[in-house]
Amino acid sequence: MKKYNSSTQERDAMNCCKIYAQQATGQEDEKPGEECGVFGMYDMDSSDVASTIYYGLFSLQHRGQESCGIAVSQTDGPKRNSSTCKGMGLVNEVFNADNLEKMKGDIGVGHVRYSTAGASTAENIQPLVLNYVKGTLMVAHNGNLVNAVDLRNDLELNGAIFQTTIDSEVIAYLIARERLNVGTVEEAVKNAMEKIQGAYSLVVASPRKLIGARDPHGFRPLCIGKRDNAYILSSETCALDTVGAEFVRDVEPGEIVTITPDGIHSDKRMAIVEKKSCIFEYIYFARPDSYIDGVCVHSSRIAAGRILAQTHPVAADIVVGVPESGNAAAMGFALESGIPYGTAFVKNSYVGRTFIKPKQSARESSVMVKLNVLREVVAGKRVVMVDDSIVRGTTSGRIVKMLKDAGAVEVHVRISSPPFKYPCYFGTDVPDSDQLIAYSYTVEEIAQKIGADSLGYLDISRLGELMDGDMGYCDACFSGNYPVKPPTGDIRGEYEH
């Protein structure tokens, strides 16, 4: 088994923070938000897993900073034994040595969460823990269902009572209900998968088994790791590195893996559709030292920068990246163009991702704390500024202005993704089209609005080069071609997680 080792450069990018600004009108310009990260562990030597799950979640903190939780149980104990700790805030704010010490169990799941509009409440914190006739079911979910409302309505009409407003509870309820009619929990997961539609990477712990499942399109990542006599499921490989585990393999789209003391059992009966992994995992979401479906995220961002230099060349004196995900793309642009790469921004690494702050006031208070410009680097120079995306345009406009106020004579903006034109329904909070600047304005008009001397986006036809192969990917937020039919109404703010 091969363990992916992070390079020094990639490890330096531990906090994938982004730079956001506030319009004078008060409307925030948010970067797209990833909804969560999942982590599960089963130790066959019966050692407690809570502390390892904690460190795993700490490594996945970039995927959600709103809330987090851990649930564990003992596989040799009663079928209804579990210990749970959840709270609003960061991993190191919710957990401490005392509450982790009290969590006794050799199997467990963890979750970090970021919600879309609304529902930033304690009852929606994952993992969900259900006590039912077969024992305890612990569920953590990354993704978004497109048929959650219909399923929820049907379940409620048949007597189901829901405690949350998240679609993850629909999944948990379906698994529990199906388990009453089949012989194993993994078969119940498979039956539930036949009913749900959309994006989901699941980590499920039953009284005696740890199960991982990925939707048939593989929208969201999920991988398997091993440390000594313990198996791990994680959204990203960076968390495996953190806890000293070896990478075993990725969970394949549509696959259900069941982990017991006998090893890993694979069920691929649901793997019947074309793979459509979220391309924005490579552009922005994932930590740069992670590998997703065998592809190094850092290398993907370098490739994006090289493509930008090929398709949108410009005469300039320096190339700079907007921290953090813009940095690697800027390196790629510099390598391809021969223009020197430089560091123009000083970022406060102790400020979390602004867009994950649940309230507008929190965003406003942290905007200017996060970023400053090194005047000596940009003064009197023609600057290429590389960032990963433009949503509404106010952030890019603010950063361009900061560079020019610091003395840059020209600022040429290059974006390592195509223009956002359509909303996402699969676990990313790309807003409605009428809120996306690229939907209403041409590239030239956007450049004028943000104050850039020129603007270039990554060509949508070259997105596949970021994945270094023939793997299928979802680019619906850029193309409008949805792999799964979206809901007739936008319910992302009503039933999200």
Do 129 and 60 meet the contact criterion of CB atoms below 8 Å apart?
no
φ and ψ at residue 358, rounded to 5 degrees: -70, -20
Do 200 and 220 meet the contact criterion of CB atoms below 8 Å apart?
yes
Neighbours of 395 (CB within 10 A): 27
Our answer to whether residue 296 is catalytic in this structure is no
Task: Please enumerate, as own/partner, the contacts of 176-179 that have beta carbons within 8 Å and a separation of 24 or more.
Answer: 176/130, 176/132, 176/134, 176/137, 179/132, 179/134, 179/137
- Kindly provide the b/e burial profile for residues 51-90, where b requires at least 16 CB atoms within 10 angstroms of the residue's own CB: bbbbbbbbbbbbbbbbbbbbbbbbbeeebebbbbbbebeb
Do 144 and 167 meet the contact criterion of CB atoms below 8 Å apart?
yes
Q: Which residue has the tokens 């460190």?
A: 55
Q: How far apart are CA 185 and CA 182, in angstroms?
A: 8
Q: Label residue 401 exposed, middle or buried (CB < 10 Å: 0-12, 13-18, 19+).
A: middle
Do 64 and 35 meet the contact criterion of CB atoms below 8 Å apart?
yes
Q: How far apart are CA 396 and CA 389, in angstroms?
A: 9
Q: How far apart are CA 111 and CA 60, in angstroms?
A: 9
Q: Label residue 159 exposed, middle or buried (CB < 10 Å: 0-12, 13-18, 19+).
A: exposed
Return the bridge partners of 108, or none.
41, 72
Catalytic residue, from 16, 17, 36, 85: name it. Answer: 36
Q: Which residue has the tokens 């990203």?
A: 236
Cα of 130 vs its chain's centroid, Å: 25
HSE, CB side, 13 Å, CA atoms: give it for residue 304.
34
Among residues 274, 273, 270, which one has the least CA distance to residue 190? 270
Roughly what angle, to the nearest 10 degrees, separates helices 185-195 and 167-179? 130
Q: What are the residue numbers of the active site?
A: 36
